[in-house]
Amino acid sequence: MDRRTFTKVASLSALSASSMARAVAPAVKPLRLGVIGGGSRGQEVMRQFLHLPGVSVRAVADIYPPRQAEVERLTGAPVRFMADYKTLLAMDDLDAILIASPLACHAEHMIAAAKRGLPIYGEKAMGFHPQECQQIVDAVVSNKTLFQVGHQYRYASWAQESYRRIRAGQIGKPTHIYAYWHRNGNWRRPVPANDPTGYLEHLINWRLYRETSGGLVTELGSHHLDMANWIFGEVPSSVLGTSSICRYHDGRTVGDNTLATFNYSEGRKLFFSSITDNAKNGNELWVYGDEGSVQITMEDATFYYEKSKRSAPIAPSGQTVVQHGIVTGSSYSTAGEMPYRGEGERIGTQAYEDSTLTAVRSFVEAVHGEHPVQADVYVGYGSSIASAVAHEAVFTEEKAAIPALKTT
């Protein structure tokens, strides 16, 4: 995505998030949702959709039967439930599709849904393997399908305001982004007892296995990648990473920690760190410029400013030094090297709204033709291609090139 597209996305986001946009919204229009993937994330996105007037969940496709009861408790009514997503896509009474299936199924589901022509809200990361990311873009573009990727954080009001301020130069030129998603938990979901072959283990805990999971750098880091792409205005060109299993020796084949460096033009970098046995840092992203920093979290953003580098004009009192001299001594002061521990300028605490709700509202507005999609398929490509390459790079521990989108 080029800089112009990013700027367009930013301005549209600001419009959608404003109360003005909601105040002038037309009367309630129905939107019947079909859902592929009714697991934990799918249920949370469905819940947010149901906060919007006129939205109903018409059908859910999921190969795990217990999801039906979970979904019906969520929707408060019987929902047409099926194992085969193709049956769902063949329904003629749907207005949009939510795809929240496991990552390894995204391409199959998204490409089929794109061919069906219905608007798609597709969870991140968009594609698993690098070639799938390109295939999804091609399918969405060639079928002229409305597509929004589930990068909800860029819809958050505090992220929007941070982006605006960064673009306005308030922290100088942003050159480095340090992103963390640190948790204290094994990332494991419970599996029914009767699973002698381990199939349910792989179905439910698909995030733990390399053949179905993008690992921490994808499942968690793709959000930070999207934010970095947004702020830097481009997709990284290469990545260098590492990963290991140091805590949870439970048969998983993706790391329980990872560290990756993404390289952007002009030497700019995103450093992503994820560990799963200490949650002190939580989920945060620091953007550093030569004049300041901003910390962006899931609930707010806080700006800090560097001490002025320019010397103040010499005051007349300088004569005192001339007259009395100065006392010689040790020149080293730790003060200049200590972390800043004062308050910052916190933004985003007014009119707070869950970022997923803001994102799905924007999607519904886009489906109703009120504005273009903000986090479109190109945004999805930017983060998913980088995380797909990074997923392999953390195993090889070699620098890997990130392919640019091929446009026809």
Partner 1 sequence: MIRVTCLRIAVALAMAFCGHAQSTSQPTLYTFRHPAMGTEFALYLYANDEASARPIADEAFDEVDRIEQELSNYRPSSELSRINQQAAAAPVTTDPETFGFLEVAQHWSETSGGAFDMTVGPLMKVWGFFDHSGRIPSQTELDRVRASVGYRNVQLDAATRTVHFRAAGVELDPGGIGKGFAVDAVVRILHAHHIQAALISAGSSTLYALGSPPGQRGWRVVVPGVGDDKQGISTVWLHDTSLSSANCNEKHFTVDGHLYCHIMDPRTLRPVEGRVHVSIIDPSATTSDALSNVLFVDTPAESEAFLQRYAPEARALIVSGNAAAPRCSTYRWQEPVDATHCPALSSQGR
Binding site for partner 1 (CB under 8 A): 44, 47-48, 50-53, 63-66, 73-77, 83, 104-105, 107-108, 128-129, 132, 185-186, 188-195, 197, 199-200, 202-203, 211-212, 250, 299, 349, 351-354, 357
The least distance separating partner 1 from the CB of residue 111, rounded to whole angstroms, comes to: 9
CA dihedral 118, 123, 129, 130 (to 10 degrees): 80
Q: Name which of 204 and 227 has its Cβ closer to partner 1.
A: 204
Q: Name which of 10 and 136 has its Cβ closer to partner 1.
A: 136
Q: Name which of 183 and 268 has its Cβ closer to partner 1.
A: 183
Q: Name which of 21 and 52 has its Cβ closer to partner 1.
A: 52
The least distance separating partner 1 from the CB of residue 51, rounded to whole angstroms, comes to: 6
Q: Name which of 64 and 271 has its Cβ closer to partner 1.
A: 64
Q: Name which of 188 and 371 has its Cβ closer to partner 1.
A: 188
The least distance separating partner 1 from the CB of residue 20, rounded to whole angstroms, comes to: 14
81 secondary structure, DSSP code? E
CA dist 331 and 195 (Å) reads: 68
CA dihedral 397, 265, 382, 160 (to 10 degrees): 120
* CA 184 remoteness from chain centre: 20
- Nearest partner of 177 among 195, 163, 158, 192, judged by Cα: 163
The least distance separating partner 1 from the CB of residue 50, rounded to whole angstroms, comes to: 4
Note the helical H segments in 282-403: 318-324, 355-367, 377-396
Residues 270 and 217: beta-carbon distance below 8 Å: no
Q: Name which of 128 and 178 has its Cβ closer to partner 1.
A: 128
> Beta-strand (E) ranges in 6-122?
31-36, 55-61, 80-82, 96-99, 120-122
Contacts for 403 with CB less than 8 Å, ≥ 6 apart: 130, 134, 385, 389
The least distance separating partner 1 from the CB of residue 223, rounded to whole angstroms, comes to: 16
The least distance separating partner 1 from the CB of residue 271, rounded to whole angstroms, comes to: 27
CA dist 375 and 363 (Å) reads: 9
The least distance separating partner 1 from the CB of residue 99, rounded to whole angstroms, comes to: 13
3-state secondary structure of 219: helix
The least distance separating partner 1 from the CB of residue 283, rounded to whole angstroms, comes to: 13
Q: Name which of 84 and 345 has its Cβ closer to partner 1.
A: 84
The least distance separating partner 1 from the CB of residue 351, rounded to whole angstroms, comes to: 7
CA dist 216 and 237 (Å) reads: 20
The least distance separating partner 1 from the CB of residue 117, rounded to whole angstroms, comes to: 21
Assess whether the previous peptide bond of 77 is cis (omega < 30° from 0). no
Which amino acid does the sequence have at 230? W
Which amino acid does the sequence have at 117? G
CA dist 290 and 268 (Å) reads: 12
Edge-to-edge order in the sheet of strand 80-82:
80-82, 55-61, 31-36, 96-99, 120-122, 147-149
Q: Name which of 353 and 397 has its Cβ closer to partner 1.
A: 353
- Nearest partner of 103 among 149, 157, 163, judged by Cα: 149
Q: Name which of 212 and 273 has its Cβ closer to partner 1.
A: 212
Residues 222 and 215: beta-carbon distance below 8 Å: no
